[in-house]
Amino acid sequence: MKLLSRQEFKVQVFQRDQHQCIICHQEGKDAHHILERKLWDDGGYYLDNGATLCSACHLEAEYTTISCQEIREKANIQEVLLPPYLDYGFPLDYDKWGNPIPENKQRLRGLFFYEEATQLALKRGQQLHLFAEQVIHPQHSPLTLDLLTSIEEENLVLLAYTPTDELISLYSNFYHNQQLQPFNNQAKHQYLQDLTAQLTELPYNWRICGKLLTEENNFRFEVFSLWNEQNTCLSWTETQEWAILLGFEVVNVLKKYKAKTLVLKELFSNYKDKAILRIQGSFSAKEYRKKVLSV
């Protein structure tokens, strides 16, 4: 799918939809981004991410009372375009603001859920009550020279982590895996239930993310990150402090760096597919892809 300029996007969307609102068939006024353009690193000006709407239907789409799925169907768009980092590998739809919608249709809080514009739109559309407490852990970005350059003044910590590690999120009253699927293994289920029982000190709507290590029916949970009620990842120092308070282990720290002293060749030679590099400071969920990098 070709990336368009802003003007090309408007012209081609209007031409495809014959200058009519695809919902109510009144005169089209706006070339609407089906998925918010700030979710895309390149602006999201793709023909299949656009639809012609009148002013009234445009507001409903922004408020998410008209769904992305309905807009695509009305515009006869066959392909669902997503930014690569929103592909979690299992069936998920998304609302306009990038909030995941699993098969049970109860929305989850996405990376931009707490942004002022997102909150305002959802509030005006009276949609906030539809959201569950679960949050899918963001995707790791592969380490590149460009991303490393963007954090070259940061202090970094290298954590033991492989692509096959099972990622679990623990809350004060429930838990889930990355696919939001139930556990068939009763021993694993009981182990995770027992872990949540330890979280009496964890504030409401905070979550602990970590990897679950399994050897036969013996399990060990190691903390990878800790998130507060605003979906902000705590600093590594705070994460360690909370882990101690709650009686948890943290993942193995392989090394600490100043970003500008890192040599990619050495890092890839020693830790390829064996580690995650993260900044030691805190950051918001929407910054995750630029602050936590897989080696």
The confidence band for 245, taking pLDDT boundaries of 50, 70 and 90, is: very high
Residue with tokens 């353009």: 37
Distance in angstroms (rounded) separating the CA atoms of residues 262 and 153: 11
Residue 148 has what pLDDT?
82
Domain ranges of the chain: 1-132, 141-294
Distance in angstroms (rounded) separating the CA atoms of residues 133 and 225: 17
Residue with tokens 């399990």: 219
Three-state DSSP state, 39: helix
For 8, 68, 85, 126, 129, the CA distances from 2, given in Å and listed in that order, are 11, 20, 19, 35, 37
Statement: residue 206 has pLDDT above 80:
yes
pLDDT tens-digit map of 15-61: 999 999 999 999 999 999 999 999 999 999 999 999 999 999 999 99
pLDDT tens-digit map of 133-178: 889 999 889 988 888 888 878 899 999 999 999 999 999 989 999 9
Three-state DSSP state, 193: helix
CA 238 to chain centre: 22
pLDDT tens-digit map of 123-140: 999 999 999 988 999 988
Q: Quickly count: other Cβ atoms within 10 Å of residue 159's Cβ.
A: 22
Domain 141-294 has CATH 3.30.470.30: yes
Q: Please report which helix (H) or strand (E) contains residue 59, including its range.
A: helix 55-62
pLDDT tens-digit map of 50-95: 999 999 999 999 999 999 999 999 999 998 999 988 988 888 999 9
Statement: residue 265 has pLDDT above 90:
no
* Contact criterion met (CB below 8 Å) for 175 and 202: no
